[in-house]
Every structure is written in structure tokens, then in C-alpha cells.
Amino acid sequence: MSEALKEEEAGAFRFVDISASREIKKAMDVANEIPKYPVLISSKPGMGKSTALRHYARILDANYCEVGHANKTVKGMLKMIIEATGFGTTYRFVKDLSDTAVARLYEGYGSKRLLIVDEVQNLDLSAFRELLRIHEEAGCALVLSGNDKRLARTRIHESALDQIVSRLGFRVELGPPLEEDCWSVAVDYNVEGADAYQALSTFGRQTSVRDLVRLLVFAEKLRGQSGSINLHHLKAAFLTIYGSKRDLKLLVG
């Protein structure tokens, strides 16, 4: 189990079922049903992709990995995949690492044949190509997640990128949270009052799930040990984070 999944299991990531998470689950189901074609989930940062992917990876017992700076090269990516399957490696050459990654994915059973690669926009082009080759050779289901606009950064040749994207299957593009999403998160944080719910809807639809949750976490701390979060707590939390009454229109319109 990856470090990110250990944190999720310990409660560091608070999961709430919203429209974005349901779209992500649908994409994962498609990947499992038609493993020949990878699926791509994309959005601006903070829309809930990673939290939902970690949650479902744990529930489904899938292989989850997140591309960081050390994983962007072919070697780094291959080591990342091997570690995501629960194994370590002392191999140093790309051929050995590639063969090991394919074997680990091919030998997986059931949902362990599902590989989730988060923050995929951080991969170098050569590493991205190798990832798709490994997916084909291992025959596993593959879910890619990240910011696809950053994937099209200038140092990647546009035609090469188009060639890669053309191999993808189902695509999901997530937008800002809906009003019902904001309310679902508010319920989970024990928010009370129509004015507080309206404020959270106004704020969340203009920002992101991440910003909405951060506001509620601060409001929860300001509330104290018991009771509900109300509009007073939300305003106080907003000023604590942003420090400007002028920007309160993000919260109260």
C-alpha cells in the first residue's frame, strides 16, 4: 500500500461522496470493463480528484501511485509502479525495471489489475509513452488523472501529445462543485442554518472543493469542541484564511 493510501486509511483524507467522486467511480468502472483503453480524469487543481481516487483505490484494492518530481523520468516512473504494487526493487536498468513492472501488473488478481496514476501531467513525454506501453503489455486497466492542460506544456511537441491522447478511451473533465456538492460537504461538517449553506454554495462554486474543505476545517476549529458550524464561524474562518473583508463577497455574495 502506498504512503498516500496509508494516510487515507488513517483518516488524513476526509472523503465525501459528491458529483465529482461519482464521475470518477464511473471512469474507474469503464477502465475495468474495457481495460484495452486507458481513461483520463482531468480538472483544475483542487476539484477532489486525488481524494476520491485514493478512497476508491483502497476500497477496490487497486494499485495507486502519484507522480512526483522523482518519478517523472522513465526509470522513476517504473520504480513508482513497482512500489505501488507492494514490492521494492534493486534493479537499475530500464529493461529490468520495465519487465518487473509488467510482471507485477500482469500477475495481479481481480481489482489488483487496476493501476491508477495520479498527477500524470508531471511525467516526461518518454515516461508517458512507456507507461502506455506497459499498460498494453500487462493488459491491466489504467486510470490516468491530472491537469491535461499542463500536459500540453510547450516542451512537449503537440503532434506527439495528440498521438498519445488518441489512444485514450473514456474521458472525464471535472468542473467546480455544484450546489448539491457544497451542501453534501456542509452536512458532513455539521453546518447549520440556511444562510450558512447558501454562503458555502456561493463560495464553493466560485473556488474549489479543496478551498471549501479548508474553510470548513478552519470553521470547525473556531467552533470549538461541540455544536454546529454557523455563518459566524464561516465568516471568521474566511477572514482568518484570506484576511480581507473586501473579499467576503466570495462567501456572502
Reply yes or no on whether the pLDDT at 110 is more than 60.
no
**Cβ count within 10 A of residue 79:** 21
Asked if residues 72 and 65 have their Cβ atoms less than 8 Å apart, the reply is: no
Q: In this predicted structure, what is the pLDDT of residue 53?
A: 95
Q: In this predicted structure, what is the pLDDT of residue 9?
A: 43
Residue 219 C-alpha cell reads as 470553521
Reply yes or no on whether the pLDDT at 166 is more than 80.
no
- Paired with 143 in beta bridges are 39, 116
Distance, CA of 236 to CA of 219 (rounded, Å): 7
Q: State percent of the chain over pLDDT 90.
A: 58
DSSP letter assigned to residue 229: B
Reply yes or no on whether the pLDDT at 158 is more than 60.
no
Q: Report, at the CATH architecture level, how domain 3-173 is classified.
A: 3-Layer(aba) Sandwich (3.40)
Q: In this predicted structure, what is the pLDDT of residue 87?
A: 84
Sheet with 171-173: list strands edge to edge.
63-66, 114-118, 141-146, 39-42, 171-173
Residue 96 C-alpha cell reads as 529490468
Nearest to 250 by CA among 184, 192, 176, 147: 176
CA 218 vs CA 141, 168, 178, 179: distances in Å: 39, 40, 21, 21
Reply yes or no on whether the pLDDT at 4 is more than 90.
no
What pTM value is reported for the model? 0.84
Q: In this predicted structure, what is the pLDDT of residue 237?
A: 93
Distance, CA of 146 to CA of 38 (rounded, Å): 13
Mean pLDDT of the region 171-185: 93
Q: In this predicted structure, what is the pLDDT of residue 108?
A: 66
Q: How confident is the model at residue 66 (pLDDT cuts 50, 70, 90)?
A: very high
Q: How confident is the model at residue 252 (pLDDT cuts 50, 70, 90)?
A: confident
Residue with cell 482568518: 240
Q: In this predicted structure, what is the pLDDT of residue 7?
A: 44
Distance, CA of 242 to CA of 230 (rounded, Å): 18
Asked if residues 164 and 127 have their Cβ atoms less than 8 Å apart, the reply is: no
Mean pLDDT of all residues in the chain? Answer: 85
DSSP letter assigned to residue 178: P
Reply yes or no on whether the pLDDT at 183 is more than 90.
yes
79-83 LR contacts (CB < 8 Å, sep 24+)? 81/105, 81/115, 81/117, 81/131, 81/134, 83/2
